[in-house]
């Protein structure tokens, strides 16, 4: 065993894996793309892996917007983490909230639990949304990062239609049927398109007093085009498609003010009952937990193998890590990056434990990027190959089905998609809890 990876001495945590007490302890914080894949790479090895997450499930975040817009149920894209490692006795799962890291003692501080010892630590905690210094906007313009967020947004979205049905004031009906999405990246475009289809197709025949098809969906962004990370041709296609399904675009119109009645986007006041935030992200408090300075977005600068400088026993991956790609540009905050880094870190740790040569620095393989705009419409950028319309939508559908964690998820999502495509209906239109204020 390499000398720079001493074993931590501390009490065994709850749910410790059924491996030798002297086994090398690997703690992975975060059960998303990065953490899950790192743990999978270490399943069946001789180390004791403890995967810590604040929830008991792993979530396929690229389809969260479909939960929020009543196209899918939350269970269709979530899997209990324990079920993933049911046949991996060296991998244990602990549902807990991380509050800090003691690098000297090599322990992770947990809320309501004793410190968790580690020999190797992998921080894969992802990112959170940023309201650019206006944290008070978070309750008025919620974002989408968890299943709870999606269910709350779905309740708020459907509740707006229900309240409009009971309203007598035409001006208030217009406000209740106005939906603003802030941020024209992939998440914002997908959300705006999905709300438009929900209003114009699914809900069109469900109400008697209001006409859901007249709902106003406004997509705002401080930039000059939608899907700015995509080539101009694909961005232009997305613009035309969004306008075709009734989405109003407000570009070069950053949000200047936001209250319970609506937003000020650029110089235009938009009264709205529903505002969704998809404008920017920041790292989780990994830098603060580690007692170091992050960059301006809170990201942790790492070495080429994703380790913390001066601490080869600590890895930081995914949205929390700042690492440049081969072209010298920072790697994007995509699930594909976190997934590949998780696998790479798993290989590095396994090689160290087996006293094998290291796999070397992390190298990201760019498999392209996708965004769906609506029914049978998407854009796909694979470098030399760029697709729009139905072909891109079919590729988007196939890729997302394959990336889902379990076969059960794939079947559930596929059945829902086929049903929705054939009937223009969405089955998850039930308000199960009062919308959050």
pLDDT (average), residues 80-87: 95
pLDDT at 59 over 90: yes
Cα separation, 202 vs 71, whole angstroms: 10
pLDDT (average), residues 70-75: 92
Looking at residue 128, its pLDDT comes to: 84
User: With contact defined as beta carbons under 8 Å apart, do 24 and 7 qualify?
Assistant: yes
Chain-wide mean pLDDT for the chain? 91
Distances (CA, A) of 189 to 197, 230, 399: 12, 12, 18
pLDDT at 70 over 70: yes
Say yes or no: 174 and 272 in one domain.
Answer: yes
User: With contact defined as beta carbons under 8 Å apart, do 317 and 306 qualify?
Assistant: yes
Q: Is 102 inside any structural domain? A: yes
Cα separation, 368 vs 209, whole angstroms: 45
Say yes or no: 169 and 242 in one domain.
Answer: yes
Phi, psi of 155 (to 5 degrees): -65, -45
User: With contact defined as beta carbons under 8 Å apart, do 150 and 74 qualify?
Assistant: yes
Comparison of pLDDT for 293 and 63, the residue scoring more: 63
Say yes or no: 348 and 252 in one domain.
Answer: no
Say yes or no: 61 and 141 in one domain.
Answer: no
Say yes or no: 148 and 247 in one domain.
Answer: yes
Among 325, 353, 381, give the residue marking a domain's end: 353
Supply the range of the domain harboring residue 407.
Answer: 135-279+368-423
pLDDT (average), residues 102-118: 96
| Catalytic residue (choose from 190, 248, 303, 433) | 190
Strands 48-53, 178-182: parallel, antiparallel or unpaired by DSSP? Answer: unpaired
pLDDT at 208 over 60: yes
Looking at residue 415, its pLDDT comes to: 93
Looking at residue 5, its pLDDT comes to: 45
Say yes or no: 298 and 392 in one domain.
Answer: no
Which CATH number does the domain housing residue 340 bear? 3.50.50.60
Looking at residue 186, its pLDDT comes to: 94
Q: What percent of the chain has pLDDT over 90?
A: 77
Looking at residue 328, its pLDDT comes to: 82
Residues 6 or more apart whose Cβ sits within 8 Å of residue 325: 331, 364
What is the DSSP track for 37-89? HHHHHHTTSSSEEEEEESSSEEE-GGGHHHHHTTSS-GGGSEEEHHHHTTT-T
Q: Is 6 inside any structural domain? A: no
pLDDT digits (tens, 9 = 90+) for 355-389: 999 999 999 998 899 999 988 999 999 999 999 99
Looking at residue 436, its pLDDT comes to: 55
Say yes or no: 118 and 265 in one domain.
Answer: no
Say yes or no: 415 and 305 in one domain.
Answer: no
**What stretch of H or E contains 242?**
helix 232-244
* The total number of structural domains that make up the chain: 2
Q: Is 163 inside any structural domain? A: yes
| Nearest partner of 296 among 98, 123, 132, judged by Cα | 132
Q: What percent of the chain has pLDDT over 70?
A: 94
Phi, psi of 399 (to 5 degrees): -65, -45
pLDDT (average), residues 273-296: 88
Q: Is 190 considered catalytic here?
A: yes
Which CATH number does the domain housing residue 390 bear? 3.50.50.100
Cα separation, 364 vs 331, whole angstroms: 8
Cα separation, 181 vs 258, whole angstroms: 12
pLDDT digits (tens, 9 = 90+) for 392-433: 999 999 999 999 989 999 999 999 999 888 888 777 778 877
Sheet hosting strand 48-53, strand order edge to edge = 91-95, 48-53, 25-29, 120-123, 311-316, 307-308
Global model pTM greater than 0.85: yes
């Amino acid at each position: 065993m390499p000398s720079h990876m001493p074993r931590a001495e501390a009490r065994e945590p709850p749910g410790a894996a059924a491996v030798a007490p002297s086994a090398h302890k690997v703690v992975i914080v975060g059960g998303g793309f990065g953490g899950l894949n790192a743990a999978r790479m270490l399943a069946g090895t001789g180390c004791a892996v403890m995967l810590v997450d604040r929830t008991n499930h792993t979530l396929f975040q690229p389809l969260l917007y479909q939960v929020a817009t009543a196209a899918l149920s939350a269970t269709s894209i979530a899997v209990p983490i324990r079920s993933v490692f049911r046949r991996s006795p060296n991998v244990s799962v602990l549902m807990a909230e991380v509050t800090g890291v003691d690098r000297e003692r090599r322990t992770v501080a947990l809320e309501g639990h004793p410190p968790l010892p580690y020999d190797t630590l992998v921080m894969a905690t992802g990112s959170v949304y940023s309201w650019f210094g206006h944290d008070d906007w978070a309750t008025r313009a919620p974002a989408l990062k968890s299943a709870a967020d999606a269910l709350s947004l779905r309740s708020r979205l459907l509740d707006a239609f229900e309240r409009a049905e009971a309203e007598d004031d035409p001006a208030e009906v217009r406000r209740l049927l106005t939906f603003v999405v802030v941020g024209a990246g992939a998440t914002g475009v997908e959300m705006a398109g999905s709300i438009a289809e929900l209003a114009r197709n699914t809900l069109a025949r469900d109400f008697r007093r209001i006409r859901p098809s007249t709902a106003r969906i406004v997509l705002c962004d401080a930039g000059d085009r939608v899907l700015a990370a995509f080539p101009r041709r694909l961005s232009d296609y997305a613009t035309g498609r969004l306008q075709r399904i009734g989405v109003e675009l407000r570009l070069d119109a950053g949000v200047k003010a936001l209250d319970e009645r609506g937003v000020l986007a650029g110089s235009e006041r938009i009264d709205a009952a529903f505002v969704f935030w998809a404008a920017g992200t920041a790292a989780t408090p990994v830098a603060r937990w580690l007692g170091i300075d992050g960059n301006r977005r809170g990201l942790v600068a790492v070495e080429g193998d994703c380790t913390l400088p001066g601490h080869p026993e600590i890895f930081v991956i995914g949205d929390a890590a700042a690492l440049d790609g081969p072209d010298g540009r920072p790697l994007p905050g995509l699930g594909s990056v976190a997934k590949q880094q998780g696998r790479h870190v798993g290989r590095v740790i396994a090689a160290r434990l087996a006293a094998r040569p290291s796999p070397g620095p992390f190298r990201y393989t760019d498999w392209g990027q996708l965004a769906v705009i609506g029914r049978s419409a998407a854009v796909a950028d694979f470098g030399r190959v760029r697709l729009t319309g139905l072909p891109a939508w079919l590729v988007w559908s196939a890729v997302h089905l394959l990336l889902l964690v379990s076969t059960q998820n794939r079947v559930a999502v596929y059945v829902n998609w086929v049903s929705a495509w054939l009937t223009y209906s969405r089955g998850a239109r039930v308000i199960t809890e009062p919308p959050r204020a």
